[in-house]
Amino acid sequence: MQAEPTTSLVGEEYEVEIGPVAHGGHCIARTAEGQVLFVRHALPGERVVAKVTEGEEGARFLRADAVRILEASKDRIEAPCPFAGPGRCGGCDWQHAKPGAQRRLKADVLAEQLRRLAGLTPEEAGWDGTVVPAEGDKLPAGEVPQWRTRVQYAVDAEGHAGLRRHRSHEVERIDLCMIAAPGVSELGIEKHEWAGMESVEAIAATGSQDRQVILTPRPGGRLPLVELDKPVSVMRVDEKAGGVHRVHGRPFVRERADGRTHRVGAGGFWQVHPKAADTLVTAVMQGLLPRKGEMALDLYCGVGLFAGALADRLGDKGAVLGIESGKRAVEDARHNLADFPRVRIEQGKVESVLPRTGITEVDLIVLDPPRAGAGRDTVKHLASLRARRIAYVACDPAALARDLGYFGENGYRVRMLRAFDLFPMTHHVECVAILEPAAKGA
C-alpha cells in the first residue's frame, strides 16, 4: 500500500508564545493546532513570528526560526555579530541574549536534563544551580569573549572561507568570527582564497606561540601555497591514505596547562577555550582530593591532561592507567607523560581495554567520554571497581544525566556538580560531577 504523500511546512509562519529553553540551542513553542516548534533566535516568554525551516504536516515537531519579534524578553539584545540571525551562521546560538541570560538558559537545560534523565534535583546533585563563566569572560552585554582557539572554516565553491549555516552545508561568508581567539583571527583565514579546499581548520595554542592550519582538500583539489599573516605550520587531511600529514612546520602544537606543556598532534583533542584545561583540572582535583600512593584511572584520556595532573599529585608510589582510542593521541600522551614512570597509557576503546587489564579495584577514576557518554555497561564496570571517588567530565548535559542515572543504579551518588560556561554564545556547557559510593552519603 502506497504511503500518503506528506506536505512540507517549510516557509510557513506561525505567531507563537515562546516557552522554555530546550537542549540544543532553541526554545519550545506550539502552533494553534498543538504541533511542537523548536524555535531558534527566540527567548522564553517572547511572542514571535516563527518561520518553519524543517518539517512537514503530522511530524512530531517542526524546526523554526524567530523571524519577527513581537514582544521581546528583557534579556534580548541586538546580536553583536553581523553574521548571526535566522538563516545565517550556525556557529552561535545565543548572540541575541545577554551574557548572564545565556548562563541561566544553560542552567535551566542542565537542571531539566538532570531531573528527566537522572531523577535528580540540583540539591541532590550537589549543584548550586549556576553556570560559572571562565576567568575574563564576564563581559557586559554587546561584548563577546574571544575564546575559540580552534575554528573550522568551511570553504565555498569560489574558495571563500566562512562558517556553516545551522543544520546546513551552505557556507556563510564572513570577514571575522567574533568568538575566535586573537591567535586565530590574526592568521587572516577569511581574507585568503582557498580554491580546491573543503575546509580549513585554524588552531592557536594556549601558552605557546604555535599556530597551525589543517587543510582538507576537495576530491582532486591541489594544496594552495599557504601564506598567512603570521607564521604557521600546515597539515593536510588525506582521506585516501587516512590521517593527517605534515606539509611543513611542526606536526603538533604545544599547549600549556596545570604547569605542564602538552604536545597535541594535528587533529588531536584539546579543550577549545584557553582557560578550559586549567579550569577543569582544578575542579577535578578539588573533587577527587588525590592522596599519595593511590591508584587512578584516566579514561578517554586524550593527550594525558588529567593523567599528568593525577600522577603529579599521587607521588612516586602512586600509579595511573590511561586509556585512549586515538593512536596519535596515545603517542602524544606517552610523550607528555614520559617523566612519570608509574603512568601507563593503553590504546583502544575503554569498554574493550579495561576488562583486559585485570584491574578489579582502584582508588580514583576520571572519565571524559565523547559527547554520547560512557553508557550503561561501562558505568556498571566502573562502579564494580569500588573507587572512593569518580570525576566525570562532560560536554553534553543529556549524556551526563543518563550516565549519572546509571551510576545511581550501581551504588554511586553525586557528591558535587559544577557547571562552566566554556562555550560562550553557544548552547554548550561543560560539567564536572564528583561521585562517591552511596553508602558514604547515607
Contacts of 374 (CB under 8 A, 6+ apart): 299, 350, 367, 382, 392, 403, 406
The CA distance from 319 to 295, in Å, is 5
Q: Which residues of 110-143 are buried (b: 16+ CB within 10 A; e: fewer)?
A: bbbbbeebbebebeebbbeeebbbbeebeeeeee
HSE of 219 in the Cβ direction (CA atoms, 13 Å)? 1
The grid cell for 85 is: 540571525
- Is 431 annotated as catalytic? no
* Cβ atoms within 10 Å of 248's Cβ, excluding its own: 10
Secondary structure element (H or E) that encloses residue 308, with its range: helix 305-314
SS3 165: strand
> Residue 165 region, left (φ>0) first, then alpha (ψ -120 to 50), else beta?
beta
The grid cell for 230 is: 603570521
Q: Of the residues 89, 301, 395, 431, which is catalytic?
A: 395
> Nearest-CA neighbor of 79 among 89, 71, 17?
89
State how far the alpha carbon of 264 is from the alpha carbons of 98, 223, 254, 331, in Å: 34, 23, 6, 10
Q: DSSP secondary structure string, 87-99?
A: TSB-S-S-TTB-H
Q: Which residues of 167-183 are buried (b: 16+ CB within 10 A; e: fewer)?
A: eeeebbebeebbbbbeb
- The CA radius of gyration of the chain, in Å to the nearest whole number, is 23
Backbone angles phi, psi at 247, to 5 degrees: -100, -55
HSE of 273 in the Cβ direction (CA atoms, 13 Å)? 23
Catalytic positions, please? 395
